[in-house]
Amino acid sequence: MKYSIVVPVLDEEENVDALYDQLCAVLVDRQDWELIFVDDGSQDSTFAKLENIAAKDKSVKVLRLRRNFGQTAAMMAGFDAASGDVILPMDGDLQNDPADIPRLVEKLNEGYDVVSGWRKNRQDKAFSRKLPSLLANKLISFFTGVALHDYGCTLKAYRREIIEEVRIYGEMHRFVPALAHQVGARVAELEVNHRARVAGTSKYGIDRIFRVLLDLMTVKFFQTYSLRPMHLFGQWGGVAFLGSFLSGAVTLYMKFFDALPMNRNPLLILSAFLLFSGIQLFALGLVAELMTRTYHESQRKRTYSVRQTLNLTQDLLN
C-alpha cells in the first residue's frame, strides 16, 4: 500500500522547508510514501523553495498552478496527481503536526474509509477563527447528518476509491467527509495536535462564513435531492398551489358575503402570484429532472456505489 500526502501551499516561503524536514522525520520508509506540494499561485519564493526540495528529493512532486484557484482546487489537483492507495491532505503552515499522520493511517486500517482530524485544542484566535468554526461545524453536522467536531481540519485520511467518487468545487473541500458518507464511506474522527502559526499569515478570515453557508446549501441539496429534484421543487410548488387556493377562497368569500370588490382585494393578487409561483416551481422541477437524467446517462454515471462483489463477472465496482 502506498500513501500520498497532499499539501496545498500559498505564500508559505517561511514554512515549506521546515514542513518538508518534519515530514521526512516522520516518514521513515519513503518507498511507501510520496509528497505532493501544490503551489496555489504563490507570489513569494515558495515555488523556488519547492524547486530546491524537488531537486534533491526526486520522490517529491510539485504542482504549480497558473494562478490562485483556491484551496479546494489546489487540493483536487493534488488528489488527481496522487498515486497512493491512501491520500492524506494537510495544511502547509506547520499548524498540522506530521506526527499525527501514522495515527490517522492506523485508524483508517481499523476498517474506515475516511478519518477526519479533530483539532480539539485549537491554537487560533477565538473570535475570528474558533467561534465561527464551532458554529459552522454544528450546522454542517446537523444538515448533513455526519456529526464531526471539526470539518475545517485539513489533516485527514482518505482511501483512494472514495476520493475518486467525490468531486469538489468552489470551497467544498471541508465537506468531503459528508460527501463521502453519501456514497457509503465509513467515517471516523481522531483527535490531532494543532500548533500555533509561527511564521507567515493566515489566508482565511471571518468572511469565509457566508461562503461556507452557501456551500452547505449545495451539499444538502446534492445529498438529499440530487437524484430526485422534483421532490424538492414539487413540495414547494404544492405549498404555493395550496396557498393560492386558500387565498382565492377567502377572496371569493369576501366578495359574496362581505360585498368587498375583488379588484380592491390584495388577496386576489396574492392568489395569482402563488398560482404562477407554483407553476414555475413544478416546471423548474421537471427541468431539473431532465438535467439529472442527462448528467447521469450522458456520462453513464451510476446512481449507486459498489464496495465489493461476490461471484459476479460484471465490472460493477466503481
Whether 231 shows a pLDDT value over 90: the answer reads: no
Whether 130 shows a pLDDT value over 80: the answer reads: no
Which of 224, 239, 261 represents a domain boundary (last residue)? Answer: 224
> What integer is the mean pLDDT of 43-49?
92
Which of 193, 209, 224 represents a domain boundary (last residue)? Answer: 224
User: Same structural domain for residues 244 and 265?
Assistant: yes
User: Same structural domain for residues 146 and 263?
Assistant: no
Q: What is the pLDDT of residue 310?
A: 45
User: Same structural domain for residues 130 and 152?
Assistant: yes
User: Same structural domain for residues 137 and 245?
Assistant: no
> What integer is the mean pLDDT of 256-266?
78
Residue 95 or 309, more confident: 95
Compute the distance between CA of residue 33 and CA of residue 15 in angstroms, rounded to an integer: 21
Q: Which of 273-277, 283-287, 296-300 has the lowest mean pLDDT?
A: 296-300
> What integer is the mean pLDDT of 291-297?
74
Compute the distance between CA of residue 43 and CA of residue 76 in angstroms, rounded to an integer: 21
User: Same structural domain for residues 249 and 209?
Assistant: no
Residue 134 in domain: yes
Q: What is the pLDDT of residue 5?
A: 95
Compute the distance between CA of residue 79 and CA of residue 89 in angstroms, rounded to an integer: 9
Look at residue 309 and give its three-state secondary structure: coil
Whether 108 shows a pLDDT value over 90: the answer reads: yes
Residue 316 in domain: no
Residue 318 in domain: no
C-alpha cell at 248: 382565492
Q: pLDDT > 90: what percent of the chain?
A: 39
User: Same structural domain for residues 125 and 243?
Assistant: no
User: Same structural domain for residues 20 and 121?
Assistant: yes
Whether 84 shows a pLDDT value over 60: the answer reads: yes
Residue 93 in domain: yes
Which of 192, 224, 256 represents a domain boundary (last residue)? Answer: 224
Residue carrying the nine cell digits 467544498: 172
Residue 161 in domain: yes
User: Same structural domain for residues 57 and 74?
Assistant: yes
Angle of CA points 56, 7, 136, to nearest 5°: 165
Q: What is the pLDDT of residue 312?
A: 61
CATH code of the domain covering residue 104: 3.90.550.10
State the pLDDT confidence band at 21, using cuts at 50, 70 and 90.
very high
Whether 207 shows a pLDDT value over 90: the answer reads: no
User: Same structural domain for residues 24 and 79?
Assistant: yes
> What integer is the mean pLDDT of 161-171?
82
User: Same structural domain for residues 212 and 275?
Assistant: no
Is 0.85 surpassed by the pTM of this model? Answer: no
Q: How many domains does the chain have?
A: 2
Q: Domain containing 38: what range?
A: 3-224
> What integer is the mean pLDDT of 191-199?
86
User: Same structural domain for residues 248 and 168?
Assistant: no
Sheet strand arrangement including 33-39: 60-64, 33-39, 3-9, 86-89, 156-159, 114-118, 187-191
User: Same structural domain for residues 179 and 275?
Assistant: no
Per-chain mean pLDDT for the chain: 85
Residue 317 in domain: no
Give tens-digit pLDDT for 241-250: 999 999 999 8
Q: Are 168 and 175 in contact (CB under 8 A)?
A: yes
Q: pLDDT > 70: what percent of the chain?
A: 88
Compute the distance between CA of residue 226 and CA of residue 229 in angstroms, rounded to an integer: 6
Residue 304 in domain: no
Residue 166 in domain: yes
Whether 309 shows a pLDDT value over 80: the answer reads: no
Whether 308 shows a pLDDT value over 60: the answer reads: no
C-alpha cell at 302: 451510476
